Amino acid sequence: MPHIRIFAAVLIAALPVANAWGTLGHETVAFIAQDCMAAHTVSWAQGVLDNTSTSYLAGIAAWADTYRYTAAGTFSAPFHFIDAEDSPPSSCSVDYDRDCGAKGCVVSAIANYTQRVVSTTLSNTEVNYALRFLVHFVGDIHQPLHDEALEIGGNDIDVTFAGASTNLHHIWDTEIPEKFVGGYSLSDAKAWAQTLNTATKSGIYASQVASWTKGLDVTDPVTTALDWASEANAYVCSTVMPNGQAAVEDVDLSGAYYASAISVVELQIARAGVRLAAYLDAIAKNQKVLTKRLVQDDVDMSGADLLPDTRPLSKAKLVREAVGYGCKH
């Protein structure tokens, strides 16, 4: 992965956005994490971001979706997904060697920005950007269609939602969460996060939340991120298109389909927030150890060493490359 170049924030703010989970989802994930993080992690993250506001993570959670459309940020477009070349609905799986492309993927990106965020040789801006990317990509990897190659992660599966033409990927990113919450403002995200945090502490998720961070290991971020991707990808078979592509194509999905999907959307948002907090806690707690390893192992900070061996581009990856690694609206 190329080193991040500084780009004027004022220009970034003016560019179009294609948000995985939508801004609402990403901000909700970040607010959940803010509530769950240890005090020392909060101080560390606020220092890296130079931001002590009440939305220090939530305010930057969707930044990566804007940055990817800048001249400086185009290199990061492939980092928002991993194209699982499986066969839903009969078989869902993620294979790192098969599915992570030569230009990187969300799994390799999480791994690389884990090492970049603790670097003492990168600039403050580069470390700041590394944390921004981590916050965003942990959200991305929990959206099932960000772990699927079929029809560009559902972008080429035309559907309708409440009578409006859209695509399958977009309704999972945006329409389903926004219909459930009833809005998409920062305050809406904060309220949803509070509801989900209550569910993790004393509600429907309380008995399972400890299992969500089992095996989390910032010293082996590829395995950790791959586990998350595989878990999310399984929902492509069970929930996103359990009866195949034809069953959802050109169908209005705002009724029974929405009702069956929303519980998975909520669960994945909650998992992403809890895991983001635990992951950042582990980075902050082990920062000195992680930094020492970078020096001892002479780590390539571009992330190239984290990628699978290069192989010819598959048809799915050629299609993804042809559309510029973006999402449809």
Catalytic (active-site) positions:
21, 26, 65, 68, 80, 136, 140, 146, 169, 173
3-state percent breakdown (helix, strand, coil) of the chain, nearest 5? 60, 5, 40
For residue 263, give the amino acid letter.
S
d(C-alpha 99, C-alpha 87), whole Å: 13
Please answer whether residues 284 and 41 qualify as being in contact, where contact means their C-beta atoms are separated by less than 8 angstroms.
yes
What token pair was written down for 109?
Answer: 């990106």
Using the Cα atoms of residue 288, residue 216, residue 75 and residue 28 in order, give the sign of their dihedral: negative
Please answer whether residues 18 and 80 qualify as being in contact, where contact means their C-beta atoms are separated by less than 8 angstroms.
no
What token pair was written down for 197?
Answer: 């945090």
Return phi, psi of residue 182, to 5°. Answer: 90, 15
Please answer whether residues 122 and 314 qualify as being in contact, where contact means their C-beta atoms are separated by less than 8 angstroms.
no
Q: Is 58 exposed, middle or buried (0-12, 13-18, 19+ CB in 10 A)?
A: buried
Who contacts 188 (Cβ-Cβ below 8 Å, separation ≥6)?
24, 181, 182
